Amino acid sequence: MRGEISSGRYSKRHPLDWYVDPTWCAEQLALALDGYWYERAHKLAIWDPCCGMGNTLDAAQSRGVAMIGSDLVDNLQRDNFLDDEDHQPPQFINRDFLEFGRAPAPCSIICNPPYSYKKGIAERFARHAIALATKHACILMPNKWLAPGKDVKVWSNRLRLFREDHPPLAVLHLSERPSMPPGDKIRAMGSRAFRGGMIDYTWIVWDVTRDVAPGQTRTIWLPPLHRNDEIRPIWEMIDA
């Protein structure tokens, strides 16, 4: 039983592309962003505009960064978040990300966006995140999204995004394949839910405060999970 976004028949996919990324995906990104030091120093929130259960926000909570989650459907697992003097649970907004005219607060936007339930939805999310973010806009996508195939319109739009309109700061390839089960099947799948990932994924990272010239995007391979201590802040590698 596999429900990953890039495998299986379209008819068997979740109708809103609700696929749950394991928490380690955002953890590796947080390490590459030096523990969200900029967000902490400038009191920025981490906003996941398609937060699902809230797994992407886990790395922000462990670092004391304010969290905002929003989504079309409220599936946020609030019991997974601490609520005490030192930790506040995520603020949740039940709203379509593309309907936001501005961010709920100064923030970096980090998400595993919908991929295919509407044509072009992932690119629309990427462009909107870049427009609304205060610092970072980061999306987790299958590697194949970097090469949009034979559709000339899709190809030209994606190429314009990457090469002309908003060249990313970095592309961070995950060395391990995450398993991303559909959120409504996790309980039934039990221990199999987060095993046996079949698809390669990558974080695409934009820093909206920094100009990146076309062709200057850095490609970085993140290590396997047992070597997380090797992850260096991406700007150390970019500025070296």
218 vs 239, more confident: 218
pLDDT at 137: 98
pLDDT at 158: 85
pLDDT at 60 over 70: yes
Per-residue pLDDT tens over the stretch 125-164: 999 999 999 999 999 999 988 987 777 777 788 888 999 9
pLDDT at 238: 81
Q: How many Cβ atoms are within 10 Å of 154's Cβ, its own excluded?
A: 14
Q: What percentage of the chain exceeds 90 in pLDDT?
A: 56
Task: Count the helix, strand and coil residues of the chain and give each as a percent rounded to the nearest 5.
Answer: 35, 20, 45
pLDDT at 153: 72
- Which domains does the chain carry? 10-238 (3.40.50.150)
pLDDT at 96: 94
Q: Tokens 């995950």 map to which residue?
A: 174
Is the pTM of the predicted complex or chain greater than 0.85? yes
Q: Span 90-94, mean pLDDT?
A: 94
Kindly write down the DSSP assignment for every residue of 83-117, as one continuous string: -SSS--PPEEEES-GGG-SS-SSSEEEEE----SS
The amino acid present at 182, given as its one-letter code, is P
pLDDT at 1: 42
User: Are the CB atoms for 30 and 207 separated by under 8 Å?
Assistant: no
Q: How far apart are CA 154 and CA 121, in angstroms?
A: 11
